[in-house]
Amino acid sequence: MEKKFLTFLLNIRTKRLNSYMVAITHLGTGGAIWLITTFVLYYLGYRVYAINIFLALIVNAILCNLILKNLLKRDRPSWINRVELLIKNPKDFSFPSGHASSSFAAAVTISFYFKGLGVFFLVIAFLIAFSRIYHFVHYPSDVIIGAILGIAVAFLTKSIYDEFLLDYLQKNMGFLFAFIS
């Protein structure tokens, strides 16, 4: 079923849609949009929120990209079937999707603090995740599990942050909160 969906997406490609999907997928490459957003929020004085978003991204990267991908070692569809790729063929494993997990980890964390902005970023996260399937570098299950993982990481890190880290950081690392006041 996943292969049929990937084939369907290959058949609906257009030049215009391709250009949009390339741009969208690159928003999530290296967590670019999420790191920039975190920096902007920190700079604007939302330090507590920005640090929580950064924490979610770090925990997610360790769990998804360093542990799960290397433990599960699922080949990408682009490694199995030769298709014309619109983006560079990734060299790391496919499952779970790092783009999807980091996008949802950051977007859900943002939505904890900013409802309207959170909805906007959840849409961006969905588009980034979908673009990975569109580009034939992930199976739908890679992206679905990646999104679920990112959402779980957001809830976990917010809980840990609120319960343990926030008070400690404010008492012992005030420079993180005083910087750019």
In a domain, 8, yes or no: no
- The total number of structural domains in the chain stands at 1
pLDDT in tens, 53-76: 999 999 999 999 999 999 999 988
Q: What is the pLDDT of residue 10?
A: 78
pLDDT, greater one: 174 or 13: 13
| Residue-range definition of the domain harbouring residue 169 | 14-83+90-178
For residue 137 the two structure tokens come to: 């570098």
Q: In this structure, what token pair is assigned to residue 25?
A: 């997928």
CB 56 within 8 A of CB 106: yes
Q: How far apart are CA 38 and CA 105, in angstroms?
A: 12
For residue 2, tell me if it sits in a domain. no
Mean of pLDDT over the chain: 89
Q: Say how many Å lie between the first and final Cα of the chain, rounded.
A: 53
User: Who contacts 47 (Cβ-Cβ below 8 Å, separation ≥6)?
Assistant: 176, 177, 179
- Measure the CA–CA gap between 57 and 125, rounded to whole angstroms: 13
Distance CA 93, CA 74 (A): 6
In a domain, 4, yes or no: no
Rounded CA gap, 153 and 148, in Å? 9
Residue 22: inside a domain: yes
Q: Flag whether 117 is in a domain.
A: yes
What pLDDT does 64 receive? Answer: 96
Q: Kindly report the backbone phi and psi dihedral angles of residue 75, in degrees, each rounded to the nearest multiple of 5, phi listed first.
A: -70, 150
Q: State pLDDT tens for residues 118-164.
A: 999 999 999 999 999 888 888 999 999 999 999 999 999 999 988 87
Could you tell me if residue 102 is inside a domain? yes
Report if residue 5 sits inside a domain. Answer: no
- Is residue 113 included in any domain, yes or no? yes
